[in-house]
Amino acid sequence: MYNYDDDMPQKIVGKQIRLLRKRFKITRSVLASKANMEESALQRIEAGRTNPTIKTLFKISNALNVELKVLF
């Protein structure tokens, strides 16, 4: 049987955020600061342990200087 846990939307988005952050050579601390959020919250999002709101994803995309759709 297929394991849907690995493809949960929050995990996919979290992996994409982490990939972009590393590609742009930005630390988690810097990205969290630019997005005006706690570093621990960003860590949970990147790990796929929380389901971020659209508002939070918008703040992260702005901090990364990418369109919101790129996170998906």
pLDDT digits (tens, 9 = 90+) for 5-18: 666 899 999 999 99
Domain of 39, in residue numbers: 4-71
Q: Which CATH number do you get for residue 67?
A: 1.10.260.40
Provide the domain count of the chain: 1
Separation of alpha carbons 5 and 30, rounded Å: 29
* pTM over cut 0.85: yes
Tens of pLDDT, residue by residue over 25-60, are 999 999 999 999 999 999 999 999 999 999 999 999
Angle between helix axes 54-64 and 39-47 (nearest 10 degrees) is 100
CA separation for the pair 53, 44 (Å, rounded): 13
